[in-house]
Amino acid sequence: MTVLALGAVACGSSGNNKSSSSGTTPSTASGPTSSAGNTTITAEGGASDNITIQDFKFSPDPLNVKAGAKVTVAILDDNVPHSVTADDGGFDTGIFMKSSGPKTITLSKAGTFKYHCQVHSFMKGTIDVSS
């Protein structure tokens, strides 16, 4: 399980936007939440698929999930803030640290979603959502 915390550091992001779909559906998870676009981010786990952040890399890349899958984002050992932010704006965990706990996003539409870290613009990943 990963911990996420908000930070005040920000870097530029890449404009490499190749998402074939930007639709997402909010999760119904309980606990503290914040919405970004049509995706709900929650501080609780329980996800069926995971993105881990370690050594300034997202893993796995790409992540392959079915539509409706809950994806938990966790920082393993990096002691710096990160984010998982869709290039098309469809989801955003916000900038967080390991100590704040994991975030969960739910993607409901099929497509390829490219994302990046707001703090470290060289960190990039892809989520392939199939129906």
Least confident residue range of 20-24, 29-33, 36-40, 104-108: 29-33
Cβ 9 vs Cβ 79: under 8 Å: no
Domain boundaries 33-130, corresponding CATH code: 2.60.40.420
Task: Give domain limits for the chain.
Answer: 33-130
- Which is more confident, 19 or 78? 78
What H or E segment, with its residue span, contains residue 103? strand 103-106
Contact yes or no for 22/80 (Cβ under 8 A): no
Work out whether strand 49-54 and strand 70-75 pair parallel, antiparallel, or are unpaired. Answer: parallel
Instruction: Give the pair of three-digit tokens for residue 31.
Output: 């606990």
DSSP state for residue 98 in the 8-state scheme? G
> pTM value?
0.66
What are 85-124's pLDDT values in tens digits?
999 999 999 999 999 999 988 898 999 999 999 999 999 9
